[in-house]
Amino acid sequence: STPLLRAIDLCKEYRLPRGQTLRALDNVSLEVMPGEVLGLVGESGCGKSTLGRCLLRLTDLSSGAIIFDGQEISSLGERAMRPLRRQIQMVFQDSYASLNPRRRIGDLIAEPLRVHPDENGQKRSRAAIDARLAELMELVSLPASALARYPHEFSGGQRQRINIARALALSPQLVVADEPVSALDVSVQAQIVNLFTDLRERLGLTYVFIAHDLAVVRQISTRVAVMYLGAIVELGETDAVLHKPAHPYTAALIAAVPEPVIRHGTSLTLLRGDIPSPISPPSGCRFHTRCPKAEARCSAEAPELRPLQNDHAAACHFPLMDSL
Ligand code: SF4
Ligand code: MG
User: What is the pLDDT averaged over residues 269-275?
Assistant: 72
With residue 81 as reference, give the H or E element that holds it: helix 78-85
How many whole angstroms from 21 Cα to the centroid of ligand 1? 24
Instruction: Give dist(CA 121, CA 304) in Å, integer.
Output: 46
Q: Of all protein residues, whose CA lies closest to atom 3 belonging to ligand 1?
A: 316
- Please tell me the number of the ligand nearest to residue 45's CA: 2
pLDDT at 269 over 70: no
Instruction: Give dist(CA 45, CA 90) in Å, integer.
Output: 19
How many whole angstroms from 64 Cα to the centroid of ligand 2? 21
**Among 312, 93, 319, CA closest to 224:** 312
- Percent of the chain past pLDDT 70, that is, above it, reads 95
Dihedral angle computed from the Cα positions of residues 189, 147, 49 and 156, in that order, rounded to the nearest 10 degrees? -30
- Please tell me the number of the ligand nearest to residue 321's CA: 1
pLDDT at 195 over 90: yes
User: Is the separation of the CB atoms in 159 and 136 below 8 Å?
Assistant: no
Identify the sign of the CA torsion 5, 201, 232, 323: negative
Least confident of 53-62, 188-197, 252-261, 305-314: 252-261
For 117-136, write each residue's pLDDT tens digit: 998 989 999 999 999 999 99
Instruction: Give dist(CA 81, CA 281) in Å, integer.
Output: 34
With residue 199 as reference, give the H or E element that holds it: helix 186-203
pLDDT at 324 over 60: no
User: What is the pLDDT averaged over residues 213-234?
Assistant: 96
For 11-68, write each residue's pLDDT tens digit: 999 999 888 899 999 999 999 999 999 999 998 889 999 999 999 999 999 999 999 9
How many whole angstroms from 315 Cα to the centroid of ligand 1? 8
Residue 4 CA, chain-centre distance (Å), reads: 15
How many whole angstroms from 318 Cα to the centroid of ligand 1? 6
Instruction: Give dist(CA 311, CA 316) in Å, integer.
Output: 16
With residue 138 as reference, give the H or E element that holds it: helix 126-139
Please identify, by atom number, the ligand 1 atom nearest to the C-alpha of residue 299: 7
Confidence grade of residue 270 (pLDDT, cut at 50, 70, 90): low
pLDDT at 109 over 70: yes
pLDDT at 265 over 50: no
Instruction: Give dist(CA 287, CA 275) in Å, integer.
Output: 9
* pLDDT value at residue 93: 86
How many whole angstroms from 274 Cα to the centroid of ligand 2? 17
How many whole angstroms from 31 Cα to the centroid of ligand 1? 24
User: Is the separation of the CB atoms in 247 and 315 below 8 Å?
Assistant: yes
CB burial of residue 249 (10 Å; 0-12, 13-18, 19+): buried
Q: Select from 298, 299, 304, 306 the residue to mutate for testing ligand 1; criterion: most ligand atoms less than 8 Å from CB.
A: 298
Write out residues with Cβ below 6 Å of ligand 1.
Answer: 247-248, 285, 287-288, 291, 293-294, 298, 303, 316-318
What is the residue-averaged pLDDT of the chain?
Answer: 92
Instruction: Give dist(CA 157, CA 136) in Å, integer.
Output: 16
Higher pLDDT among residues 108 and 271, named by residue: 108
- Please tell me the number of the ligand nearest to residue 49's CA: 2
Domains of the chain are 5-87+172-323 (3.40.50.300), 99-171 (no CATH)
* pLDDT value at residue 257: 79
Which of 90-94, 132-136, 289-293 has the highest mean predicted lDDT (pLDDT)? 132-136
* pLDDT value at residue 212: 87
CB burial of residue 156 (10 Å; 0-12, 13-18, 19+): middle
